[in-house]
Structure 1
Amino acid sequence: MTKFPAPASPSRRHLLASACALPLLAACGATARSSTGSPPLKVAALFAGNVKDQGFMEAGWRGLQRAGTELGVQTRYIDGIAPQKALLAQALEDLAKDKPDLIVAHGGQNNEACAEVAERHPGTLFVVTQGAVRGANLASYDVLQEESAYLAGVLAASTTRTGVVGHMSGIRVVPGLKGRAAYAAGVRATDAKVRLLTNFSGNQDDNALSRKVALAQSQAGADVIFTMLNAGRDGVTQVCREQGRRQIGNVGDWVARDPQVFVGSAIADVSVGVFQAVRDLQDGRFPTGEIRKIGLAQRDAVRLTMAQDVSAAVRERIERVAAEIAGGRLHVPTTYDGPEFATPA
């Protein structure tokens, strides 16, 4: 394992140089430590997936990069780890060997592994972004993607022409399950007659698999599909383009990338959770023992974008619902007990 500090490397174990190179830290003045002559904070991160997946992992990685650039911290990360508890725990142990100030475990799949490893390293702070755990040296930051997912459900039910809408995800982690439940609730609250096809295929990054599921949902009548996938999103996009279907993206703004296919995007910018955790540590207000939630009230992090062809009436409806959620007048459901769409053989 590469130790702090070291040059950037394209391998799976990385130390990223911040925008302020080490000799220039005093000039940049980005960190509280450097301004007082102390060394900059050291932040290590684990991404249980590929940081170039165009989705959840890449967003978290961007938050880490931003912390290096804007806050002047030294950053290191490991990616490409399968979402299995034993493998995640070992990767976290590897990061802990260098005794960084903070270890970021990105994604709710790290909840159990991070809680166990944190107990074994009481002198190091840990955070699970999109997590639901806490401890004496452990906090979680949760960008509430279920709030924008609810709006995605309103959009899907408002724009479907067939009366059938789809949902696709991969692994069953808590944020994904909550997002599916919220989407289903948004669909149901908008038009109870709209039929929902919802699927967890078991893989976030397999385009051949996601294409198969999307094609099956399209053939079953779904003309709007909400995808909570990472690198596997492209398979759905291909089907939508071929079949004349529309897609709703998540995490980032997919409407800006492909407005012909994407009728909307349920933005839940999880990079904000990573960056905020580092900034809170630097500012001396890291929320040890807490779960910090970031929702629609913080529109830079959570919102729904829509394609230009979405009608003014639908936009107004969604803005009203968003205001109700942000103001605490509408509770977003986070559990779902309805039928599921089987993954094709």
Structure 2
Amino acid sequence: MSNLQSRSGVVLSFTAALFMGASAILLVPQVQAADQLTVGVLIPGSKSDKGWMESGYDGLMAAEQAHEGEIKVQMIENISYADMEQALTNLASRNELVIGIGGQTQAAVFKVAKRFPNTHFSIVGGNAGTEAPNVAGYDVKQAEIAYVAGAAAAMLSKTGGVSYVGGMELPSIVNAGTEFGNGARSINPDIKFIENYTGDFDNVAMAKEATLAAIAQGADVHYHILNLGLRGMEQAAKEQGTHIVGSYTNRCGSDPLYVGYSITGVGYQVQYAIDQAVAGTWVPGYKAFGLNMGPEAADMQVCNATPEMEDKLEQIMQDIKDGKISVLEG
């Protein structure tokens, strides 16, 4: 089982939902076996956003299947920043392992972790530099794979223009945008690169406006770090006949708007945290994922790639792993 706190007999766990605005908590009692690891998961956005949050949710579902009968999961989704600390407090008071999906949970996690020293916390999208004895930060290395995505986008562009739309201007999100542009210029030094930030991962209207502005400047392939805001990029691309390189999970063949996907193993890290806790090998501290952790952690898939394109992208990824191409953190 786990080296986390064990129980005897049968106890009650609770599923909690924080409602926006009133921030009321709904508690539903459920029977929990004594030897199950209790896992609380905070998904700040929607688990069906076709982006970061959905990838994390997919990893949670895979972990539940892999550890059927061994874990009991409590999940809270769609939480505003103002309610994040309350949501994490609720999860920490009822679970042995708490997972925050997204770097935007980091500040609240460290705050709550101080009050629950016997609870272990993992941040999917955590970064280096902040340490606590009961917190693990998993770095998805978004800037690394964004460089590869930029190279792919430049190969796919017919107009010689590509764009990037990020949500909040967090260092890791800005670094990913910078490296996307660098990757595109490695293929075409004269490529036009348009970069915008909406200030909100979930704002559909602002993401659409930013994408339309980029299209007006000549971009025909778009990349993103967005959650529900991705819907706005999709709307703009569909209206104007342009295309998207998606993030997080390979969904080639599911939507003709998408010409490729960068895999950033958000779901893989959720599984990793749970696997480690179940095995009793969970440890705090910073851990970098990315290309060196293998294709489940980071990869680039172009949906209808030529052999030449595949070879070029493989070489770029190998050069990053070998240190021949240096990229920013994040």
Q: Alignment partner for residue 289 of structure 2, among 294, 305, 308? A: 294
- Cα distance between partner residues in 2 of 1:333 and 1:175: 9
Cα 1:216/1:267, change in 2 over 3 Å: same
Counterparts of 1:6-45 in structure 2, within 5 Å, are: 39-45=35-41
Task: Give the drift of 1:262.
Answer: 1.6
Greater strand proportion: 2
Q: Alignment partner for residue 261 of structure 1, among 253, 257, 261? A: 257
- Cα distance between partner residues in 2 of 1:140 and 1:248: 27
In structure 1, the residue matched to 2:5 is none
Cα 1:17/1:204, change in 2 over 3 Å: farther
Cα 1:174/1:279, change in 2 over 3 Å: farther
Counterparts of 1:1-345 in structure 2, within 5 Å, are: 4-5=12-13, 39-71=35-67, 72-82=70-80, 84=81, 86-98=82-94, 100-132=95-127, 133-258=130-255, 260-288=256-284, 290-297=285-292, 298-308=294-304, 310-334=305-329
2:191 partner amino acid: V
1:141 partner amino acid: Y
In the comparison of the two structures, how many residue pairs are matched?
Answer: 311
Cα 1:186/1:218, change in 2 over 3 Å: same
Deviates more, 1:266-275 or 1:204-213: 204-213
Cα 1:326/1:9, change in 2 over 3 Å: same
- Cα distance between partner residues in 1 of 2:257 and 2:268: 26
2:254 partner amino acid: R
Structure 1: gaps of 5 or more residues? 24-37, 336-345
TM-score normalised by L of structure 1: 0.82
Task: Give the drift of 1:277.
Answer: 0.7
User: How large is the RMSD of aligned CA atoms in angstroms?
Assistant: 2.7
Cα offsets for 1:261-290 (capped at 9, x unmatched): 2221111120111110111112122121x2
Cα 1:243/1:67, change in 2 over 3 Å: same
Instruction: Decide whether the 8 Å contact of 1:204 with 1:230 is kept in 2.
Output: yes
- Cα distance between partner residues in 2 of 1:121 and 1:10: 20
For the residue of structure 1 that corresponds to 2:252, the secondary structure is helix
Structure 2: gaps of 5 or more residues? 1-10
TM-score normalised by L of structure 2: 0.85
- Cα distance between partner residues in 2 of 1:130 and 1:17: 31
1:244 partner amino acid: G
Task: Give the drift of 1:113.
Answer: 1.4
Instruction: Decide whether the 8 Å contact of 2:147 with 2:181 is kept in 1.
Output: yes
Cα offsets for 1:76-129 (capped at 9, x unmatched): 0111111x2x5222211122222x211111111112111121112111111111
Instruction: Decide whether the 8 Å contact of 2:166 with 2:201 is kept in 1.
Output: yes
Cα offsets for 1:113-157 (capped at 9, x unmatched): 111211121111111111124311111112223222111111122
Instruction: Decide whether the 8 Å contact of 1:185 with 1:333 is kept in 2.
Output: no
Task: Give the drift of 1:16.
Answer: 11
Q: Kindly, what percent of the aligned residue pairs are identical?
A: 28
Instruction: Decide whether the 8 Å contact of 1:59 with 1:270 is kept in 2.
Output: yes
